[in-house]
């Protein structure tokens, strides 16, 4: 790949040293393993990055907790499953629609996303146990709404006091009869980040829901879209494009999703994976149990969207579909290219930094490239090594006590429902033609040689990086937003998109080009002076410095 041979201006080794300088030696040694200077992909022994390990205590991480990954990320966007947080009210309140996963409540209007259901645990429940309160909450929710499903989420105290939420869920499922009640042991401390919560959520959805609906949905080219959460309406735009191409999206895991979608997912003929981090194991399980192959796609970026559509088309191999996809691309692209050409006159050569969850640093790289921009430094909050180095490293991942804490479910081919979608010969023919199944290159391959890749970036390092490299834009989340802006650098939230979006698909690319153009070219940032830059500053050092 040509782009890996490009070199960046600064000396990355100096930057790394600067970042580590302030730390005590033991911390510096640990952090050094999570800060990597990217090498060309042709390198025989590319450096390994340490990822998916505990944040060092005292460091202000950008990560969230396991409960957030389970309740907020995976189950949050499902509108007709009623989600009850078993715990003190804060956990429920702060995960109440704070992620901008949108939904279309459809004809029935059945939508519980706007509610915040919680058992509101008090001291007394912590001391005497909260199971009774949980049972009453499920009953009350059922009486009020009669939902198809109720999900229960454990918060930290629930694990500490030992409430058996699964037994309560089983009992209530049996009692209610027409409501699927199941629970998640997703206590905040269960894993090192929200990534553990994804796994816990997905395992339960796969166990309790997928495969329930036996009637095959209509549609000629049926896919599941895994790992797309409809932030800022991304999923709506992807669905619009898919529909236009004649592709039926049976189930999105889990943006704009419904109970019925999950229950029918086994009818799809292909799984297309957007966010590899949060869900790649579900793609594997769908393949093992039902015979559905999977591919990695990326609908962030117009070129990436076109590439992903062609990849879906090539899988089905039908000329009518392939022609339709080309017609859609030909129809959508001129507007995208016109806007790109215009903004490029102002964005070419500008620089960005990308520090988002476990996927977007990879997804948005392509979009920035389309604008002629360069990513100086990027990383994930909670990616695993395979999200950096590609799926090839999966067999070599270290299984530590923290990863053992997360249940791996054993899946076997379903006696009745397994149906291999392609013969081994058909798969081989596709692969011989250069087609890749179950493949993900990871972030490092997207990044230039010499760029800095940092896992679990923290508040201190973020500010230091910006100070040293002065990017034209910094992309991360709400916790970083204001500290970065105070440094005079525009900051774009790539979790919630601030109040913007969609950025996926063709229309989304246009929105993104225009917004980034405005941000990186706005002069307001250079006028910004923090009080200490204008007035005499009181400085102090710690006694050990």
Residues identified as active-site:
65, 68, 99, 198
Using the minimum distance from each CB to ligand CFM, give the nearer residue, 231 or 340.
231
In angstroms, give the least distance from the CB of 197 to ligand CFM. 8
Say how far apart CA 280 and CA 264 lie, in whole Å: 19
Say how far apart CA 409 and CA 289 lie, in whole Å: 12
Facing residues of 531 across strands?
A: none
In angstroms, give the least distance from the CB of 234 to ligand CFM. 8
- Diameter of the chain by CA atoms? 76
* Total residues at interface with ligand CFM (CB under 6 A): 16
Using the minimum distance from each CB to ligand CFM, give the nearer residue, 131 or 234.
234
Say how far apart CA 118 and CA 332 lie, in whole Å: 45
Question: 92, 301, 357, 490: which one contacts ligand CFM (CB under 6 A)?
Answer: 357
Burial tier of 42 (Cβ tally within 10 Å: 0-12, 13-18, 19+) = exposed
Question: 95, 203, 252, 278: which one contacts ligand CFM (CB under 6 A)?
Answer: 278
**At how many degrees (to 10) do helices 505-521 and 302-316 cross?**
160
Q: How many CA atoms, within 13 angstroms, populate the side-chain half-sphere of residue 258?
A: 16
Binding segment for ligand CFM (CB under 6 A), chosen from 200-208, 226-234, 244-252, 295-303, is 226-234
Query: Phi and psi at residue 491, in whole multiples of 5°?
Result: -125, 130
Say how far apart CA 54 and CA 49 lie, in whole Å: 14
Tokens 């090594």 map to which residue? 385
Does residue 141 interact with ligand CFM by CB under 6 A?
no
Using the minimum distance from each CB to ligand CFM, give the nearer residue, 360 or 385.
360
Question: 99, 267, 324, 384: which one contacts ligand CFM (CB under 6 A)?
Answer: 99
Does residue 231 interact with ligand CFM by CB under 6 A?
yes
Does residue 360 interact with ligand CFM by CB under 6 A?
yes
Does residue 180 interact with ligand CFM by CB under 6 A?
no
Q: Are 263 and 386 in contact (CB under 8 A)?
A: no
Binding segment for ligand CFM (CB under 6 A), chosen from 203-211, 243-251, 272-280, 388-396, is 272-280
Three-class DSSP labels, 148-182: CEEEEEECHHHHHHCCCHHHHHHHHHHHHCCCEEE
Using the minimum distance from each CB to ligand CFM, give the nearer residue, 374 or 495.
495
Binding segment for ligand CFM (CB under 6 A), chosen from 223-231, 396-404, 429-437, 458-466, is 223-231
Residues 323-352 that bind ligand CFM (CB under 6 A): none
Using the minimum distance from each CB to ligand CFM, give the nearer residue, 385 or 495.
495
Does residue 507 interact with ligand CFM by CB under 6 A?
no
Using the minimum distance from each CB to ligand CFM, give the nearer residue, 289 or 360.
360
In angstroms, give the least distance from the CB of 186 to ligand CFM. 13
Question: 356, 373, 378, 516: which one contacts ligand CFM (CB under 6 A)?
Answer: 356
Does residue 77 interact with ligand CFM by CB under 6 A?
no
Does residue 294 interact with ligand CFM by CB under 6 A?
no
Question: 495, 503, 512, 513: which one contacts ligand CFM (CB under 6 A)?
Answer: 495
Using the minimum distance from each CB to ligand CFM, give the nearer residue, 180 or 298.
298
Does residue 275 interact with ligand CFM by CB under 6 A?
yes
Q: Are 445 and 378 in contact (CB under 8 A)?
A: no
Burial tier of 544 (Cβ tally within 10 Å: 0-12, 13-18, 19+) = exposed
Tell me the residue number closest to ligand CFM, measured at CB: 357
Does residue 277 interact with ligand CFM by CB under 6 A?
yes
- Contacts of residues 236-244 at CB distance under 8 Å and 24 or more positions apart, as own/partner, are 236/102, 236/104, 236/502, 237/299, 237/502, 237/504, 237/505, 237/506, 237/507, 237/508, 238/299, 238/504, 238/505, 240/505, 240/507, 241/299, 241/305, 241/309, 241/328, 241/332, 241/505, 241/506, 244/328
> What pairing do the DSSP bridges indicate for beta strands 117-118 and 180-184?
unpaired
- Return residues touching ligand CFM (CB under 6 A): 69, 73, 99, 194, 227, 229, 231, 275, 277-278, 356-360, 495
């Amino acid at each position: 790949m040509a782009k890996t041979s490009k070199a960046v201006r600064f000396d990355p080794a100096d930057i790394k040293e600067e970042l580590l300088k302030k730390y005590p030696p033991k911390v510096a040694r640990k952090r050094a393993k999570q800060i990597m200077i990217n090498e060309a992909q042709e390198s025989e022994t590319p450096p390994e990055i340490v990822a998916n390990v505990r944040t060092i205590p005292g460091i202000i991480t950008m990560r969230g907790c396991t409960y957030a990954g389970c309740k907020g990320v995976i189950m949050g966007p499902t509108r007709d499953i009623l989600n009850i947080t078993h715990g003190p009210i804060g956990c429920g309140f702060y995960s109440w629609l704070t992620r901008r996963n949108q939904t279309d409540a459809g004809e029935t209007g059945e939508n519980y996303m706007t509610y915040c259901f919680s058992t509101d645990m008090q001291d007394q429940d912590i001391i005497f146990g909260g199971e009774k309160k949980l049972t009453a909450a499920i009953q009350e929710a059922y009486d009020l709404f009669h939902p198809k499903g109720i999900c229960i989420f454990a918060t930290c105290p629930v694990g500490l006091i030992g409430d058996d939420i699964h037994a309560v869920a089983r009992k209530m499922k049996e009692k209610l009869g027409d409501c699927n009640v199941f629970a998640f042991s997703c206590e905040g401390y269960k894993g090192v980040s929200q990534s553990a919560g994804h796994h816990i959520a997905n395992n339960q959805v796969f166990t309790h829901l997928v495969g329930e609906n036996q009637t095959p949905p209509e549609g000629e080219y049926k896919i599941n879209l895994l790992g797309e959460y409809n932030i800022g309406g991304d999923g709506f735009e992807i669905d619009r494009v898919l529909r236009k191409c004649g592709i039926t999206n049976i189930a999105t895991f889990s943006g704009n999703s419904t109970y019925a979608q999950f229950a029918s997912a086994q009818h799809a003929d292909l799984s297309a994976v957007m966010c590899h981090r949060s869900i790649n194991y579900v793609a594997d399980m769908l393949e093992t149990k039902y015979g559905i192959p999977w591919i990695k796609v990326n609908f962030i970026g117009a070129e990436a969207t076109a590439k992903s559509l062609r990849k879906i088309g090539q899988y089905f191999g039908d000329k009518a579909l392939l022609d339709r996809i080309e017609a859609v691309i030909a129809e959508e692209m001129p507007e995208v290219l016109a806007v790109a050409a215009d903004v490029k006159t102002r964005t070419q050569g500008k620089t960005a930094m990308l520090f988002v969850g476990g996927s977007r640093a990879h997804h948005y790289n392509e979009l920035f490239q389309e604008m002629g921009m360069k990513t100086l430094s990027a990383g994930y909050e909670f990616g695993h090594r395979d999200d950096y180095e590609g799926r090839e490293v999966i067999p070599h991942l270290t299984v530590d006590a923290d990863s053992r804490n997360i249940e791996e479910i054993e899946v076997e081919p379903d006696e009745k429902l397994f149906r291999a979608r392609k013969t081994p010969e058909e798969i081989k023919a596709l692969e011989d033609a250069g087609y890749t199944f179950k493949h993900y290159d990871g972030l490092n391959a997207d990044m230039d040689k010499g760029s800095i890749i940092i896992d679990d970036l923290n508040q201190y390092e973020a500010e230091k990086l910006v100070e040293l490299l002065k990017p034209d834009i910094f992309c991360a989340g709400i916790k970083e937003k204001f500290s970065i802006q105070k440094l005079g650098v525009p900051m774009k939230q790539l979790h919630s998109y601030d109040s913007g979006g969609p950025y996926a698909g063709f229309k989304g690319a246009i929105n993104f080009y225009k917004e980034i153009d405005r941000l990186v070219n706005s002069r307001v940032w250079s006028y910004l002076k923090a009080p200490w830059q204008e007035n005499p500053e009181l400085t102090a050092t710690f006694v050990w410095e």
